[in-house]
């Protein structure tokens, strides 16, 4: 949520800024500091402004030892094997007023841990637990030499400063008394009133009709998101006049499955965006079997070079392909303690910016995210300030009313994010109760369910799920209490982190004890790798069914790896700590395909889950108006006799397959068939949802015969779909005719259901959805630009493309080929003369008023 400032404070701050022209280094890097390096315990008095540091030594930064880059070398004591743990630093600076600047930015270089005090009050710490620090407190961990140059940043506000002399006091601690080095330097900038970006923008809670855009400015400012259909075309805006640092703007009223470009900034200026990489795409309508790509990273937020390498391998993988639609973070998103400076280093600063600005992020919380005092019950703390997951059910699912756990849909996939650390994991707890309600609904409505949380139920890596003392029994709790719920509702995939290894299970069910109780006969439902390109995928029913198998994956290696643990859990097909990496998961119709991609871009593991539905068949009859000969009640097959019908269906991008699809190619012998069963052209057949007809459940290409029969690629079989038995609207489309759809949802089964769209008694969706020709119903011809309209004049009319196809200047020219502007499908394009392709457009809109428009009747 935005951090509120008192309006009086903001007003006084802005009034004091009139003389400030630019950001000013109040304490530059390389400044001279007072320091104490004698190993004494200074308690707390040294932090105060009034403390007398006259006897302390002084010297310019960088201060430290052991790296040969120090401007001032400090002492570690007389014994290199028992170095001083703590070294103290102080620096005074003067301000005419606390409001002399609109804000302040602090950056620090450290090795190993530090606490910064401003005027005696702690304002920043890193690499320490949230406990009282003494002179003997060791850092949480040692900092590698390669990590020292990376700066940690924090924004401070005027209320933390005073008029006159201000004092920065810093204590730097070692990770061990044998540490080889110590490093310290610090910069404090006074920021002018012109806001700049400190973080973001980044996308949250993408739903079918809304998305949340977040960012942070370095000084308080108003908020605005401009958005629209293209770069340079951002006519819409949401604004907020409140002056805040943390900006959270919900963009609503959007269309499902639609890409929008955007810019963020103040109410008067953009700070970022209106460029090709600044866009968001809304989620498809729930239940739509749109292709969904998922990127999952676990334990990523280290800021290490290995984290950047994993990021780069993903970017290389999607280059020339498609980016993820859904981005999952599996917890421990900021090491070591989930503080803002660590989130900056591990996510927002020189790490994921190119991805954050166009891929909606759905995190779950890990133990390290909680170590700075975040609270899952109250949703307070840094993690909950930074992220805005869809807790109100706005992206699908049952509202959880908490950001600790939540759910959302993307197309036909339901995602559930759980908190394995900060809330109750009991079967009677609020999370388990909500989970049961949510997953019950998802089981009835969605085709796939993916659940993710931080602590894995099965691991033998850097953590051991058998050991109740490991991680406080959290892994046991999730295994014993949560797994029975999700497996009873047919969950397909579970993702976790925590253990810094990659481990992936077989298709399993019913294992809720320690690894010694795993029964390979009853609990391992498939002993193969589950790969389409080997023995075959893991098979499940198309309708979500209880206890028929789940794949569990541990991917806690997106930031670092640990070569510890036995890696011998019997539920696992593959276990390795040899790689850092991430997972790319594609869900297309009835198939889920997952890959573990290492930091070099190699695919180390892959598996597939395929769901099988009963086959439903439809025996469709339809007539295209363009090639129809009403004298003999047949369509012409000129494209076939001219050898122009392509062997591969032509609808790849115009009407891409949805669901199982088909081969999309026709054998030559089928095109050799003559007579009434000769092929006229390719068409597409769609099944639409009975309750929400705009949702296309399945789509595939088919062949149209002269007598109107629509058949599969073999030239004779009815069109079949692998979907659940039930009711569907049946629609037919063609590349230059207006499509039509049955008005009623029809009961489809394995027995071919007749759907005769040539009969007037078979009602179609909307009004005037077909043309009447001698008592037969035909699809309207002339939609040459494929915008769902027939237009003879005006912008995007269907007449001009015909003239353009024949050269654009000589109306009597003609051209041959398989072309969208060949309205009558005779293999020739004519603008004038007999059998021209222009006149039918005018006739179909009434014949007398060229400005009329005829609209396609589809939802």
Q: Is residue 180 in some structural domain? A: yes
Burial of 455 (0-12, 13-18, 19+ CB in 10 A): buried
- What's the N-to-C CA distance of the chain in angstroms? 38
Residue 434 lies in a domain: no
Same-domain pairing of 68 and 176? yes
Query: Where among 610, 640, 667 does a domain terminate?
Result: 610
Q: What is the pLDDT of residue 488?
A: 98
Q: What is the mean predicted confidence (pLDDT) over 384-405?
A: 98
Question: Which tokens hold the place of 584?
Answer: 């790319």
CB count in 10 Å sphere of residue 519 = 12
From CA 165, how far away is CA 169, in angstroms rounded?
A: 13
The two tokens of residue 381 are: 């703390």
pLDDT of residue 445: 93
In angstroms, the CA 684 to CA 209 distance is 28
Helix (H) or strand (E) holding 670: helix 668-671
Tell me which residue of 271, 291, 310, 723 sits closest to 542, measured CA to CA: 723
| Residue 360 forms part of a structural domain | yes
414 within domain boundaries: no
Q: Any residues with CB less than 8 A from the CB of 707 and at least 6 apart, and which?
A: 621, 633, 634, 635, 676, 677
Q: What is the CATH number of the domain that holds 207?
A: 2.60.40.10
For the whole prediction, is pTM greater than 0.85? Answer: no
The pLDDT of 86-97, averaged and rounded, is: 99
Distance CA 694, CA 714 (A): 30
27 plus 175 within the same structural domain: yes
Q: Residue 344 has what DSSP assignment?
A: I
Distances, alpha carbon 324 to alpha carbons 212, 283, 342, 656, 814, in Å = 17, 12, 25, 19, 45
Cα–Cα distances in Å, from 460 out to 124, 311, 559? 36, 25, 19
Q: In this model, does residue 15 exceed pLDDT 60?
A: no
Same domain, 516 and 384: yes
Provide the token pair at 450.
């993916």
**Considering the domain boundaries, does residue 819 fall inside one?**
yes
Indicate if 316 and 229 belong to the same structural domain: no
Residue 355 CA from chain centroid, whole number = 9
Q: 206 CB contacts (<8 Å, ≥6 apart)?
A: 212, 280, 281, 282, 283, 360, 395, 410
Q: How far apart are CA 255 and CA 253, in angstroms?
A: 7
Which of 125, 156, 191 terminates a domain? The answer is: 191
- DSSP calls for 791-814: ESSSTT-SSHHHHHHTTSS-TT-E
Structure tokens given for 440: 């019950």
- pLDDT classification of 663: cutoffs 50, 70, 90: low
* Residues 135, 183 share a domain: yes
Instruction: Give the whole-number percent of the chain exceeding pLDDT 70.
Output: 97
Same domain, 59 and 172: yes
Among 755, 778, 801, where does a domain finish? 778
Number of domains within the chain: 5
Contact 572, 505 (CB under 8 A): yes
Q: Is the pLDDT of residue 110 over 70?
A: yes
pLDDT recorded at residue 301: 97
State the pLDDT confidence band at 20, using cuts at 50, 70 and 90.
very low
Confidence check: pLDDT of 176 > 50 = yes
Do 576 and 632 belong together in one domain? no
Does pLDDT of 120 surpass 70?
yes
The answer to whether residues 318 and 360 belong to one domain is yes
Residue 36, in any domain of the structure:
yes
Residue-wise pLDDT for 188-211, tens only, equals 999 999 999 999 999 999 999 999
- 509 and 600 inside one domain: yes
CATH number of the domain within which 21 lies: 2.60.120.260
Indicate if 163 and 118 belong to the same structural domain: yes
Residue 314 in 3-state DSSP?
helix
> Which of the residue ranges 335-339, 435-439, 543-547 would you say has the lowest mean pLDDT?
543-547
Residue 278 predicted with pLDDT over 80: yes
pLDDT for the residue numbered 16:
33
Task: Tell me whether residue 818 is in a domain.
Answer: yes
Alpha helices (H) in 120-232, listed in sequence order: none
Six-digit token string for 521: 């006969």
Mean per-residue pLDDT of the chain: 95
Name the pLDDT band for 288 (thresholds 50, 70, 90): confident
Overall average pLDDT of the 490-511 stretch: 99
Q: Show the domain range for 134.
A: 7-191
The Cα 419–Cα 425 span in angstroms is 8
For 817-827, write each residue's pLDDT tens digit.
Answer: 999 999 999 99
The answer on 606 and 621 residing in a single domain is no
Residue whose C-alpha is closest to residue 191's, from 117, 99, 257: 99
For 765, the token pair is 């969706």
Residues 325 and 461 occupy one common structural domain: yes
Q: What are phi and psi of 355, to 5 degrees?
A: -95, -40
CATH of the domain at 387: 3.60.21.10
Cβ atoms of residues 687 and 729 within 8 Å: yes
Residue 211 within any structural domain of the chain: yes
Alpha-carbon distances, residue 583 vs 118, 283, 312, 728 (angstroms)? 43, 21, 13, 35
pLDDT one-digit tens code per residue, 361-375: 999 999 999 999 999
Give the confidence band of 543 by pLDDT, cuts at 50, 70, 90: confident
Of 650, 623, 666, which is closest to residue 786 (Cα–Cα)?
650
- Residues near 610 by beta carbon (within 8 Å), at least 6 away in sequence: 532, 537, 538, 539, 540, 590, 591, 592
DSSP strands (E only) in 119-235:
121-126, 152-156, 164-173, 182-191, 197-204, 211-228
Q: Residue 290: what pLDDT?
A: 85
Average pLDDT over residues 720-745: 95
Determine how many CB atoms are found less than 10 A away from the CB of residue 667: 12
Q: Which residue's entry shows tokens 């040294």?
A: 46
**Residue 327 pLDDT level (bands cut at 50, 70, 90):** very high
User: What does the pLDDT read at residue 589?
Assistant: 86
Residues 166 and 159: beta-carbon distance below 8 Å = no
């Amino acid at each position: 949520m935005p951090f509120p400032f008192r309006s009086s404070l903001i007003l006084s701050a802005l009034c004091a800024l009139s003389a400030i022209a630019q950001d000013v280094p109040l304490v530059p890097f390389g400044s001279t500091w007072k320091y104490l390096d004698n190993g004494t315990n200074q308690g707390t008095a040294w932090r105060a402004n009034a403390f007398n540091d006259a006897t302390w030594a002084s010297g310019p930064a960088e201060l430290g030892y052991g790296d040969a880059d120090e401007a001032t070398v400090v002492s570690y004591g007389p014994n290199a094997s028992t170095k001083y743990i703590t070294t103290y630093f102080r620096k005074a600076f003067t301000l005419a007023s606390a409001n002399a600047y609109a804000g302040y930015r602090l950056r620090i270089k450290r090795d190993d841990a530090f606490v910064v005090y401003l005027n005696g009050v702690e304002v920043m710490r890193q690499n320490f637990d949230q406990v009282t620090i003494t002179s003997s407190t060791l850092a949480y961990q040692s900092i590698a030499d390669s990590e020292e140059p990376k700066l940690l940043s924090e924004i401070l506000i005027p209320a933390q400063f005073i008029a006159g002399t201000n004092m920065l006091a810093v204590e730097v601690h070692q990770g061990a008394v044998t540490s080889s080095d110590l490093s310290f330097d610090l910069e404090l900038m006074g920021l002018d009133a012109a806001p700049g970006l400190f973080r973001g923008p980044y996308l949250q809670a993408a739903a079918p009709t809304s998305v949340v855009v977040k960012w942070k400015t370095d000084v308080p400012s108003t908020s605005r998101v401009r958005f629209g259909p293209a770069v340079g075309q951002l006519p819409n805006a949401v604004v907020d006049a409140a002056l805040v640092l943390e900006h959270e703007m919900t963009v609503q009223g959007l269309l499902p499955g639609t890409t929008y470009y955007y810019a963020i900034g103040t109410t008067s200026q953009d700070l970022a965006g209106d460029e090709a990489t600044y866009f968001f795409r809304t989620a498809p309508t729930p239940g739509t079997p749109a292709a969904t790509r998922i990127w999952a990273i676990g334990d990523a937020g280290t800021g290490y070079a290995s984290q950047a390498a994993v990021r780069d391998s993903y970017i290389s993988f999607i280059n020339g392909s498609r980016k993820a639609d859904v981005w999952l973070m599996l917890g421990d998103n900021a090491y070591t303690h989930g503080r803002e400076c660590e989130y900056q280093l591990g996510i927002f600063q020189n790490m994921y910016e190119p991805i954050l600005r166009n891929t909606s992020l759905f995190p779950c919380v890990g133990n390290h995210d909680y170590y700075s005092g975040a609270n899952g019950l109250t949703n307070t703390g840094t993690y909950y300030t930074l992220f805005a997951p869809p807790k109100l059910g706005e992206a699908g699912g049952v509202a959880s009313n908490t950001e600790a756990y939540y759910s959302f849909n993307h197309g036909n996939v339901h995602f559930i994010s759980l908190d394995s650390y900060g809330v109750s994991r009991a079967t009677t707890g609020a999370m388990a109760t909500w989970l049961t309600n949510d997953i019950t609904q998802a089981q009835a409505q969605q085709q796939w369910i993916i659940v993710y949380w931080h602590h894995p139920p099965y691991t033998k890596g850097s953590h051991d799920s058998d050991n109740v003392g490991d991680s406080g029994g959290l892994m046991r709790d999730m295994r014993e209490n949560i797994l029975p719920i999700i497996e009873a509702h047919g969950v397909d995939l579970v993702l976790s982190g925590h253990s810094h290894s990659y481990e992936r299970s077989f298709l399993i069910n019913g294992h809720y004890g320690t690894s010694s109780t795993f029964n390979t006969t009853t609990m391992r439902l498939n002993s193969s790798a589950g790969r389409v390109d080997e023995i075959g995928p893991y098979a499940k029913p198309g309708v979500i069914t209880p206890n028929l198998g789940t794949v569990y994956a541990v991917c806690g290696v997106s930031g670092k790896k640990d070569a510890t643990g036995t890696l011998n859990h019997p539920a696992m097909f593959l276990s390795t700590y040899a790689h850092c990496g991430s997972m790319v998961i594609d869900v297309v119709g009835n198939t889920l395909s997952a890959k573990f991609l290492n930091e070099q871009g190699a695919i180390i593991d892959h598996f597939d889950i395929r769901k099988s539905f009963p086959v439903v068949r439809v025996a469709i009859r339809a007539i295209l108006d363009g090639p129809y000969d009403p004298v003999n009640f047949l369509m012409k097959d000129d494209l076939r006799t001219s050898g122009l019908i392509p062997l591969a269906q032509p609808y790849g991008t115009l009407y891409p397959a949805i669901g199982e699809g088909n081969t999309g190619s026709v054998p030559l012998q089928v095109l050799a068939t003559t007579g009434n069963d000769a092929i006229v052209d390719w068409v597409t057949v769609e099944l639409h949802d009975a309750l929400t007809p705009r949702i296309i459940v399945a789509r595939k290409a088919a062949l149209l015969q002269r007598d109107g029969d629509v058949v599969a690629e073999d030239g004779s079989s009815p069109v079949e779909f692998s979907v659940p038995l039930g009711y569907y609207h049946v629609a037919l489309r063609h590349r230059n005719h207006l499509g039509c759809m049955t008005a009623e949802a029809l009961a489809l089964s394995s027995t071919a259901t007749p759907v005769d769209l040539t009969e007037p008694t078979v009602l179609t969706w909307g009004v005037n959805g077909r043309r009447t020709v001698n008592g037969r119903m035909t699809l309207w011809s002339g939609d040459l630009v494929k915008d769902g309209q027939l237009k003879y004049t005006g912008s995007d009319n269907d007449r001009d493309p015909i003239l353009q196809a024949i050269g654009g200047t000589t109306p009597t020219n003609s051209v041959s080929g398989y072309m969208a502007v060949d309205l009558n499908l005779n293999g020739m394009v004519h603008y004038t003369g007999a059998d021209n392709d222009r006149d039918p457009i005018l006739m179909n809109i009434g014949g007398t008023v060229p400005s009329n428009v005829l609209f396609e009747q589809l939802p």
